[in-house]
Amino acid sequence: MKEVIFVADMFLEDYVGGAELTTDAFIKSMPEGIHVYKIHCTNLNVDFLKLHNESHYIVCNFARLRDEIKLTMCKGFDYSIVEYDYKFCKYRSMKKHEIIEKRACDCVEQLHGKINSAFYGYAQRVWFMSHGQKDIFLSKIDVLKEEKCEVIGSAFSTDNLRFMESIKDNKKNDTYIILGSESWIKGTQQCVEYAKNNNLKFEIVKNMQYRELLNKMSRCKGIIFQPLDYDTCPRIVIEAKLLGCELKLNEYVQHKDENWFADQENCYTHLKDRADIFWRYYV
């Protein structure tokens, strides 16, 4: 039996976010013959790596993974990376970097960026959320080779896809949803200003249970989502599309012009095989 170990800052039991939901969808769809473990970045150490030196590690969000561990893994461990944002930048956003430091992101030239660049370069596979994201990585990281890269995008569990299909035809009201987020990149206040400037009725939603949010979106006219920098494949935008909502987006939603996102039917078809494509690489 092949052993695969998922490594992440947080898993779904810690935080219900888009990255964690996608990681969980991969874990729950593991094929027969693969034994999956999970470990938090803060708990991964050299002793654990040596004990599980024949395992394949799938590293998801790794902001809390120590540089010592990254460098150790580069030296001979089998691992892949599922990249949800832009961790070659210490702010995970080049525009945020520029705003805070008043200069263009130069992280790939600094120690932090060099270590993370090596970590991407030595990975057997780097999975990306969108083609735009992949292209930016390839332009920034010289040691990352395109043949090691693949765009997988957000993944959904079969149960959640079925649930959305069952409510997608709910009667819609005249309200737009805005995600209430403390994260700078989600641009909550900008979305509110957009709604006001365009005389759109809106409601800010936050701290809702996942399916409660899906139910609410299924009855809303649309969603306003306009991040302040590149958002690689925002899950809430996909969910809104699957639920038949109108979308008020900006250019920073990176997957919005990909072919699979053109209409609702294509979205369902595309998403149903994401996990299978992911696991096909490992079996």
| Structure-block tokens of residue 232 | 């690689």
Nearest alpha-carbon partner for 54 in 109, 124, 4, 111? 4
For residue 197, give the CATH number of its domain. Answer: 3.40.50
Is residue 274 exposed (0-12), middle (13-18) or buried (19+ Cβ within 10 Å)? buried
218: containing domain: 158-271
Residues 86 and 114 reside in one and the same domain: yes
Residues 10 and 148 reside in one and the same domain: yes
Residues 150 and 35 reside in one and the same domain: yes
Is residue 104 exposed (0-12), middle (13-18) or buried (19+ Cβ within 10 Å)? exposed
Number of structural domains the chain divides into? 2
pLDDT of 263 reads 94
pLDDT of 194 reads 98
Residues 150 and 171 reside in one and the same domain: no
> Across-strand partners of 35?
3
Q: What percent of the chain has pLDDT over 90?
A: 97
Nearest alpha-carbon partner for 161 in 255, 235, 253, 254? 235
pLDDT one-digit tens code per residue, 236-247: 999 999 999 999
Residues 70 and 91 reside in one and the same domain: yes
The count of residues in the chain is 283
Each residue's pLDDT expressed in tens, for the chain with a length of 283 residues: 589 999 999 999 999 999 999 999 999 999 998 999 999 999 999 999 999 999 999 999 999 999 999 999 999 999 999 999 999 999 999 999 999 999 999 999 999 999 999 999 999 999 999 999 999 999 999 999 999 999 999 999 999 999 999 999 999 999 999 999 999 999 999 999 999 999 999 999 998 999 999 999 999 999 999 999 999 999 999 999 999 999 999 999 999 999 999 999 999 999 999 999 999 999 8
Per the confidence metrics, is the pTM higher than 0.75?
Answer: yes
| Structure-block tokens of residue 60 | 């998801």
Residues 124 and 74 reside in one and the same domain: yes
Query: What are the backbone angles phi and psi of residue 282, rounded to the nearest 5°?
Result: -100, -10
pLDDT of 283 reads 86
pLDDT one-digit tens code per residue, 259-281: 999 999 999 999 999 999 999 99
pLDDT of 2 reads 85
Residues 237 and 174 reside in one and the same domain: yes
| Structure-block tokens of residue 181 | 């987020």
pLDDT of 119 reads 98
pLDDT of 179 reads 96
Residues 128 and 197 reside in one and the same domain: no
Please check whether residue 161 is in contact with residue 28, taking contact to mean a CB–CB distance below 8 angstroms.
no
Residues 116 and 163 reside in one and the same domain: no
